[in-house]
C-alpha cells in the first residue's frame, strides 16, 4: 500500500477509537496496532475498517486490534508523534534485538543510545575541525570573542554529552527522561566539576567521596539511567497514587545522584589510577609496550572514562619537563580510528552510514574528534573499531619506540602535529601514525562489513543495522535439509520456493485459529504445528522486521517475495518470555539460517497456540502463490511455491 499516508492514517485511527483519552495503552506486533480502550463503545469499527491501509479490525484478549500489515511500525511511529501513548517516535517494539556475547550486547546498547545524536555530533565535530584550522592558520584570533562564541557552539554537545545521552537512554530503558536529564545535569553541574578538581577531601553526609569529572563521559549516565528504571518501577508499585507523581522523581533524584557519585566515581578513579601507574611504569622499561597499549586502547579508555586518570599525568609531565610521553602514541590511536572510518565510507553500500562516515573521518583527522566516528560508525560495525585498535597498537609502539611526545596538551590530529615535532624521533612518529592509518584503513576496506543499501534505516534517529557478517546468526549452521533450497530460493526460472521454517504438521490457513490470518487478508500461506522450537529462515533475503519480543519476522527476498514468519498465535502477549531471537532488522540471511529459538512448553503452559504461520504478505503483487495442501513437513521442505 505505497500510496497510504501513514500520518493521516494514524490520526484517523486515533479519531475513530474516540481520541487519545479513550486509549489506555498502545503497542504493536508484527501486523497489528494493539490498543487497550477505556470504552469500546466509543470506537467506530466500521469507519476504521474503511480507512486506506487498514486490513480489518478485531477484538481479542481485551485489546482493540487494528490490522495494518507490514507497515504497522510506521503507523505506530506516527501515532507516537501526535500522542503521548507510545513513549517514543520510533516504534519501540520494533528495535533490533541485541544478541551474541556480553561485549557485543554492550556495543549494541551503546550504539543504539548514541544513534539519535550522531548527526549533531558529526556536525559539532566538523565545526571544531574548521575552528582548529582557522586558528591554526591565523584566520581567526583564538582570543577573540567570535572564537569564544563559536568554540562554545562546537564544544557544548561534547561537554554536556551526559545530558543528551540521558534522553536517549531514558527512551531505551523506559524511564522518565526529564528525571534522567536532571541526574545528568547534576553530574556536570559547575560546582560538582569544581569538586573534582580540588585537592581537599570531599564527603557526602560524612561519607568520603572520590570525585571524577563527568563532562563528556558516557558510561556513568547510562548506568545511572538503567538503575533509575528499576528504582522508578519499584516506587511506582509501592507509593500511593495521591503522591506518586511528585515523590517518584523526588526520591529518584535523592537516591541516584549521590549513588552515582559515591560508586561510579571511585570505581572509575581507582581503575584509572591503577592503569596510569602501570602505563607510566611501562614507559620506563619498555616504551614500545606502553606506546602499544596507549595507541591501541586509548579509545577504549575514553569509552569507560578511564582516560581521566591519565590526563593529570600528561599535564604534570608538560608542566615539569616541558613535554609528555603519554601523549606520543595518541596520534596513532586517534588517526587509526579515523582511517577505519574513512574506509567504511568507501566500502559501505549504505547511504546513511556513508553520510555519517565522511564528516566523522574528517573531524577525526583534522581535529582529533572521534565521537562521531566511534559511536556512529566503528563501534556499531565492530570490525572497524577492532581494526582501528590494531593499527593503534602497532603505530603507537613505533612512535613510542622513538621517544615521541608532545610539548602541549592538544587534540591528537593532523592540525596538532607541530606539538609532536620536537620530542623524540619525529620521523618514527610520522611512520607510526601512517602505519596506524594504513593498517586500519586497509583491514577495514578489504575485510570490514559491506553493508547493503537500506533506505528504511536512513531516518534520523534510527541506527543503521549490522550486516550478517557481524552477527552470530550469520555463522549459524545450515541444516542439511535446506542446503539445496538456498539455490532454489533465488532461481532465475520465475519460481521461488518458500521453505518450511520448522518441522511439523502443515495446517491449511483457513483452519488457523486467528480470523485475520485465516481470512487470507494478510496474504496466502499456511500454518505449521512445530515439532521443535528452532525456527529457520524460509527464504534468502533481508530481515525487514524483527520484533523485540522474538515472535515474528518479516523477510524480503532478492526476488521481491515478502514473507512473514509468525511464531504462535497472539504470542506477542508473552512479551518475549520463552523466545530468543537470533537476527536483527536489516540483516542478510540465507534460507536455513536460524531466526529464533522458542520454548514451546512456555508458550503452551501460558495457554497460547504454538502454530507457526508462514505467509507471503505481498501475494497480490505476485503471479501465483501455492501453499502445500497438508501433511508432515521437515524443516527445509518446500512449503509454498511462488511464481514471481
Rounded CA separation 222/226 (Å): 6
With beta carbons less than 8 A apart as the criterion, state whether 485 and 632 touch: no
Q: Is 158 exposed, middle or buried (0-12, 13-18, 19+ CB in 10 A)?
A: middle
In three-state secondary structure terms, 525 is strand
* Rounded distance between C-alpha atoms, residue 367 and residue 360, angstroms: 10
**Inter-residue contact 29 to 66 (CB < 8 Å):** no
CB 561 within 8 A of CB 618: yes
CA 606 to chain CA mean position, Å? 31
| Catalytic residue list contains 551 | no
H or E segment at 598? Answer: strand 594-598
Query: With contact defined as beta carbons under 8 Å apart, do 599 and 533 qualify?
Result: yes
Q: Is 29 a catalytic residue?
A: yes
Spatial distance between the Cα atoms of 611 and 632, rounded to a whole number of angstroms: 14
Phi and psi at 480, nearest 5°, equal -60, -35
C-beta separation of 294 from 329 below 8 A: yes
The Cα–Cα gap between 315 and 323 comes to 9
On whether the CB atoms of residues 400 and 325 are closer than 8 A, the answer is yes
Catalytic residue (choose from 28, 307, 551, 566)? 566
Nearest to 110 by CA among 282, 628, 118: 118
Residue 102: count of CB within 10 angstroms of its CB: 7
CB 476 within 8 A of CB 582: yes
317/313 Cα distance (integer angstroms): 6
**DSSP run (H or E) holding 354:** helix 351-367
For residue 579, the SS3 value is: strand
Q: Of the listed 28, 29, 307, 551, which one is catalytic?
A: 29
∠ Cα 617 623 629 (to 5°) = 70
Q: Which residue has the cell 521461488?
A: 496
Answer yes or no: are the C-beta atoms of 497 and 614 closer than 8 Å. no
Task: Give the containing element (helix H, strand E) for 565.
Answer: strand 562-567
CA distances 585 to 92, 550, 552, 579, Å, are 13, 11, 11, 16
List, in sequence order, every residue forming a beta bridge with 58; answer none if it has no partner: 65
Beta strand ranges found along 176-304 (DSSP E): 202-204, 207-209
Cell numbers that stand for 508 in this block: 491449511
Cα dist from 511 to 22, 504, 629, whole Å? 34, 15, 12
Which residue in 452, 608, 464, 456 sits closest to 530, CA to CA? Answer: 608
571, 608 contact by CB (below 8 A): yes
The Cα diameter of the chain in Å comes to: 84
Whether the CB-CB separation of 490 and 540 falls below 8 Å is answered with: yes
Let me know if 605 is exposed, middle or buried by CB neighbors in 10 A (0-12, 13-18, 19+). Answer: exposed
Q: Which residues are catalytic?
A: 29, 566
Amino acid at each position: 500500500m505505497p500510496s497510504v499516508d501513514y500520518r493521516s492514517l494514524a490520526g484517523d485511527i486515533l479519531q475513530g477509537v474516540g481520541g487519545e483519552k479513550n486509549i489506555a495503552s498502545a503497542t504493536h506486533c508484527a501486523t497489528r496496532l494493539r490498543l487497550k480502550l477505556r470504552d469500546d463503545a466509543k470506537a467506530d469499527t466500521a469507519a476504521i475498517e474503511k480507512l486506506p491501509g487498514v486490513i480489518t479490525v478485531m477484538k481479542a484478549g481485551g485489546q482493540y486490534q487494528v490490522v495494518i500489515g507490514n507497515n504497522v511500525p510506521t503507523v505506530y511511529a506516527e501515532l507516537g508523534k501526535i500522542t503521548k501513548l507510545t513513549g517514543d517516535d520510533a516504534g519501540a517494539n520494533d528495535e533490533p534485538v541485541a544478541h551474541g556475547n556480553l561485549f557485543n550486547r554492550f556495543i549494541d546498547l551503546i550504539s543504539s543510545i548514541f544513534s539519535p545524536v550522531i548527526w549533531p555530533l558529526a556536525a559539532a565535530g566538523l565545526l571544531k575541525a574548521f575552528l582548529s584550522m582557522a586558528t591554526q592558520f591565523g584566520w581567526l584570533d583564538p582570543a577573540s570573542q567570535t572564537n569564544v562564541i563559536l568554540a562554545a557552539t562546537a564544544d557544548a554537545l561534547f561537554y554536556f554529552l551526559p545530558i543528551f545521552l540521558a534522553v536517549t537512554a531514558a527512551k531505551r530503558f523506559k524511564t522518565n527522561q526529564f528525571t534522567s536529564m536532571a541526574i545528568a545535569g547534576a553530574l556536570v553541574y559547575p560546582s560538582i566539576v569544581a569538586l573534582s578538581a580540588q585537592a581537599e577531601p570531599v564527603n557526602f553526609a560524612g561519607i568520603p567521596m572520590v570525585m571524577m569529572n563527568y563532562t563528556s563521559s558516557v558510561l556513568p549516565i547510562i548506568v545511572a539511567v538503567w538503575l533509575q528504571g528499576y528504582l522508578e518501577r519499584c516506587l511506582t508499585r509501592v507509593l500511593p497514587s495521591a503522591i506518586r507523581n511528585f515523590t517518584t522523581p523526588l526520591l529518584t533524584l535523592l537516591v541516584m545522584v549521590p549513588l552515582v557519585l559515591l560508586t561510579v566515581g571511585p570505581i572509575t578513579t581507582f581503575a584509572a589510577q591503577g592503569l596510569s601507574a602501570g602505563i607510566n611504569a611501562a614507559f620506563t622499561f619498555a616504551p614500545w609496550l606502553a606506546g602499544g597499549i596507549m595507541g591501541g586502547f586509548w579509545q577504549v579508555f575514553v569509552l569507560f572514562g578511564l582516560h581521566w586518570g591519565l590526563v593529570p599525568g600528561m599535564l604534570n609531565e608538560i608542566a615539569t619537563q616541558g613535554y609528555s610521553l603519554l601523549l606520543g602514541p595518541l596520534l596513532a590511536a586517534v588517526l587509526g580510528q579515523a582511517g577505519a572510518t574513512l574506509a567504511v565510507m568507501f566500502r559501505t553500500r549504505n547511504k546513511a552510514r556513508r553520510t555519517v562516515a565522511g564528516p566523522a573521518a574528517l573531524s577525526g583527522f583534522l581535529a582529533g574528534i572521534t565521537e562521531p566516528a566511534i559511536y556512529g560508525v566503528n563501534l556499531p560495525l565492530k570490525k572497524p573499531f577492532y581494526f582501528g585498535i590494531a593499527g593503534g597498537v602497532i603505530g603507537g609502539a613505533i612512535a613510542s619506540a622513538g621517544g615521541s611526545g608532545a610539548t602541549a596538551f592538544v587534540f591528537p590530529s593532523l592540525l596538532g602535529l607541530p606539538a609532536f615535532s620536537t620530542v623524540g624521533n619525529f620521523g618514527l612518529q610520522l611512520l607510526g601514525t601512517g602505519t596506524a592509518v594504513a593498517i586500519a584503513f586497509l583491514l577495514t576496506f578489504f575485510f570490514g562489513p559491506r553493508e547493503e543499501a537500506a533506505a528504511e534505516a536512513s531516518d534520523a534517529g534510527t541506527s543503521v543495522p549490522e550486516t550478517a557478517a557481524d552477527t552470530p546468526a550469520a555463522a549459524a549452521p545450515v541444516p542439511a535439509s535446506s542446503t539445496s533450497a538456498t539455490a532454489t530460493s533465488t532461481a532465475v526460472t520465475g519460481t521461488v520456493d518458500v521453505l518450511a521454517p520448522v518441522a511439523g504438521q502443515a495446517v491449511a490457513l483457513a483452519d488457523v485459529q486467528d480470523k485475520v490470518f485465516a481470512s487470507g487478508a494478510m496474504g496466502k500461506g499456511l500454518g505449521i504445528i512445530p515439532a521443535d522450537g528452532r525456527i529457520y529462515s524460509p527464504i534468502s533475503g533481508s530481515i525487514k522486521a524483527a520484533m523485540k519480543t522474538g515472535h515474528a519476522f518479516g523477510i524480503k527476498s532478492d526476488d521481491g517475495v515478502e514473507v512473514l514468519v509468525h511464531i504462535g498465535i497472539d504470542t506477542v502477549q508473552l512479551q518475549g518470555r520463552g523466545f530468543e531471537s537470533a537476527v536483527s532488522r536489516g540483516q542478510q540471511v540465507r534460507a536455513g539460517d536460524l531466526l529464533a529459538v522458542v520454548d514451546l512448553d512456555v508458550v503452551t503452559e501460558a495457554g497460547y497456540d504454538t502454530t507457526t504461520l508462514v505467509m507471503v504478505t505481498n501475494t497480490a503483487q505476485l503471479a501465483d502463490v501455492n501453499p502445500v495442501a497438508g501433511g508432515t513437513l521437515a524443516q527445509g521442505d518446500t512449503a509454498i511455491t511462488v511464481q514471481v
